[in-house]
Structure 1
Amino acid sequence: MSRIKLAVLFGGVSSEYEVSLQSAYNVLQNIPQERYEVFPVGITKSGRWLYFPGSYEMVRDGSWKTHPDCVGCSISPDRSRRGIVKFLPDGTTSCVKIDAAFPVLHGKNGEDGTVQGLLDLAGIPYVGCGVLSSACCMDKVVTKVLLEQAGIQTAPFLWFSKGDIDRLDAYKKEIARDLGYPCFVKPANAGSSVGITKVKREEELRDAVLLAFTHDDKVLVEKAMVGQEVECAVLGNRQLITGIPGEILSESEFYDYDAKYVSQSPTVVPARLSPALLDQVQETAKRAFAVLGCTGLSRIDFFVGEFGICLNEINTLPGFTSISMYSKMMEAAGIPYGELLDRLVDLALERAAE
């Protein structure tokens, strides 16, 4: 039986470019070689697409784009091609037909529905959520509105756009009255806690808002929820399973980019919760996954405290690095890394066949 031709996309025009390289390295190393013929495609920070034929170690160390045999390429939206078009040095092109794609891309321009739309146009099945659910989950404001409509608790919040910056003094009154301090100021569309500030007093608010606006033109302000930081992995399309929920033991003010990837805050699986609360987290995660129209996979993050279970955010393409929680939680549920990758591709093919 012929192997499945799988394009693995990595890098990207995103603040999470470096994380994507580490995730992709682990995916490339662990994808079952007996079942897949892998075609790595890297996207530089400036947005150039390159077919990469080199050692996976070059992905891990970031030198992949210097490989002498890299050639420009693109995913053709022409369904008669259904594959990767290579732009060869002699001025000709060649096309490699592929059966599925795994976009190992985090944050904007990869996890927000943009690449998913391109793959839909091309008629190529892909791992993860579709266009609408990817876009909705990337936008923290949209996520919260949809979840609250479904009766799933999130932190109290307000939001405003860049055009409202002159009305910040008026918003300060609402923040003091409805949210209080400390609160969190976040760009509505960004990943891995990039651009987030914990604001402890009103005088810090403007700088925090201006920082968030450097990442997006919509800002979310949330009440600080004091509790355990718990995550849950969900896998499936319609029949959903969950990993064993894990817990972040962050030693920072909050679980920001540095805490995740630089200082690497310790984690535990299972989370330090009662069996009843663990079950409740898993059921809430599956419900939120369905409400947002997710498919394939997502990591769903919660705060758990005296207020109950409060959903923080949904990550539709969570990290696949050696320290990432999604794969750890699924492994604790009996699904090792290689099998997990295999299942994700199967789910992509299953969804495309419906």
Structure 2
Amino acid sequence: MKNRIFLLYGGKSAEHEVSLSTARAVTHALDFSKYDVTPVFITPEGEWRPGPLLAGPAENVAELLIGETGTSAPARLTDGIGALAAGTPGLKPVVIPLLHGPNGEDGTVQGLLEVLDLPYVGNGVLASAAGMDKVVMKQLFASAGLGQVPFVHFIRSEWASDRDVILAKAEARLSWPVFVKPANLGSSVGISKATDRESLVRAVEEALRFDRKVIIEQGVDAREIELGLLGNDDPKCSVAGEISSASDFYDYESKYKDGNTVLTIPAEVPESAVEEMERIAKAAFKVLDCSGLVRADFFLTNEGEVLINEVNTMPGFTPTSMFPLLWQHSGMTYPELIEELIRLALERHAEKQALNTDRN
């Protein structure tokens, strides 16, 4: 009897297209002789559309757009949730949430899966929520004494009522250039570089299109280095990789469209710097209470200082994504990586099942 896998992808987020590419790539890594794979497409409007079992890897993204032109009509959502909850007799289905950004990577879907008592790949509710909110994440890093760049943050209503105060605070605490980001989004969506007050205002307005909370970070002259982490209580680190882009910074176009980004794996950095990144990455993993997988992003300054930028609790799995490439260069193939993530999901779920919920 095959184990059951549910793939959740798409989602109500600006990173919808990234999620679709990730889902297609994952279907090529799954062993269809071992798993029955059910796709669950979540539309940009938030509608959940469970589909029939996949016969094999998706050749293109269009095959995963359940209910759209040329694809199978979706089952009722209630049928899909019922299947998720019921699973296969004697076997627990495993859910692989391949959702990026809000309404999927931020703990909301993870909470649903917890209520349904289902094992799922990746981080839990707390780590997903804290890792999605760049402000909360950085505040937790600060509490753990992890070095990072200075930042200023605010919400939409504060910008509307106290714009000049916020601008003055940013200019007092930070120096040009700065980077302006939506607090709750990934894949570099909505991020802008500002070099003066005028461009800062434009950058904030752009970021507020995607989120009610904005963070302004100090720009730093540094190399961008990333590590992959894999595990639950005792995570292991991959080799380090470096990102170099012909663009002014590593934005959405650089990541997914223009092809001008160079990934160097392993990164040519001193062993002492890699050891420091591993130490900080594991500390960040623990302070957020992560599990399964994380990609930790660092700045390595010209003076050799290591600063943590952020962690991504659901890094992309597209063919050009850093996370699977880091593990490939660490000796783990793409299919082996997926298998390990499924194993870690079952391990974490079994540990939760062993907890005593009866006060007697």
Verify: 1:169 aligned to 2:178, yes or no: no
CA gap of 1:187–1:83, structure 2 versus 1, over 3 A, is farther
Kindly provide the CA deviation profile for residues 1-56 of structure 1, in whole angstroms up to 9, marking residues without a partner as x. x3221101111111111111111111111112232221111111111111223661
Residue 49 of structure 2 aligns to a residue whose secondary structure is strand
Q: Is the 8 A contact 2:134 2:183 kept in 1?
A: yes
- 2:263 maps to 267
- 2:331 maps to 334
- 1:212 maps to 207
Q: Is the 8 A contact 2:225 2:241 kept in 1?
A: yes
Structure-2 separation of matches of 1:129 and 1:261 = 24
Structure-2 separation of matches of 1:198 and 1:336 = 36
- 1:252 maps to 247
Alpha-carbon distance, 1:272 to partner: 1.9
Q: Is the 8 A contact 1:8 1:103 kept in 2?
A: yes
- 2:112 maps to 118
Q: 1:190 aligns with which of 185, 191, 195?
A: 185
Alpha-carbon distance, 1:69 to partner: 3.8
Alpha-carbon distance, 1:228 to partner: 0.4
Kindly provide the CA deviation profile for residues 138-187 of structure 1, in whole angstroms up to 9, marking residues without a partner as x. 00000000001101111101111111112121222222221011111111
The alignment's TM-score, normalised by the length of structure 2, stands at 0.90
Structure-2 separation of matches of 1:179 and 1:348 = 41
Matched to 2:105, the amino acid is E
Residue 217 of structure 2 aligns to a residue whose secondary structure is strand
Matched residue count:
343
CA gap of 1:24–1:238, structure 2 versus 1, over 3 A, is same
Verify: 1:73 aligned to 2:77, yes or no: yes
- 1:230 maps to 225
Q: Which runs of 5+ in 2 are unaligned?
A: 352-360
Of 9-18 and 204-213, more deviation after overlay is shown by 204-213
Q: 1:104 aligns with which of 87, 98, 102?
A: 98
Residue 57 of structure 1 aligns to a residue whose secondary structure is coil
Q: Is the 8 A contact 1:77 1:119 kept in 2?
A: no
- 1:22 maps to 21
Kindly provide the CA deviation profile for residues 231-261 of structure 1, in whole angstroms up to 9, marking residues without a partner as x. 1100000121111110001111111111100
Kindly provide the CA deviation profile for residues 58-112 of structure 1, in whole angstroms up to 9, marking residues without a partner as x. 436765433134323258778x97148xxxxxxxxxx9x8511000111111100
Alpha-carbon distance, 1:307 to partner: 6.1
The alignment's TM-score, normalised by the length of structure 1, stands at 0.91
Q: Is the 8 A contact 1:7 1:41 kept in 2?
A: yes
Q: Which runs of 5+ in 1 are unaligned?
A: 85-94
Q: Is the 8 A contact 1:25 1:60 kept in 2?
A: no
Structure-2 separation of matches of 1:233 and 1:120 = 25
Structure-1 separation of matches of 2:79 and 2:298 = 36
Matched to 1:40, the amino acid is P
Matched to 1:71, the amino acid is A
- 1:89 maps to none
Question: What is the root-mean-square deviation of aligned Cα atoms in Å?
Answer: 2.2
Q: 1:313 aligns with which of 310, 315, 338?
A: 310
- 1:277 maps to 273
Structure-1 separation of matches of 2:86 and 2:205 = 41
Q: Is the 8 A contact 1:77 1:118 kept in 2?
A: no
Structure-2 separation of matches of 1:69 and 1:75 = 13
CA gap of 1:307–1:347, structure 2 versus 1, over 3 A, is same
- 1:291 maps to 287
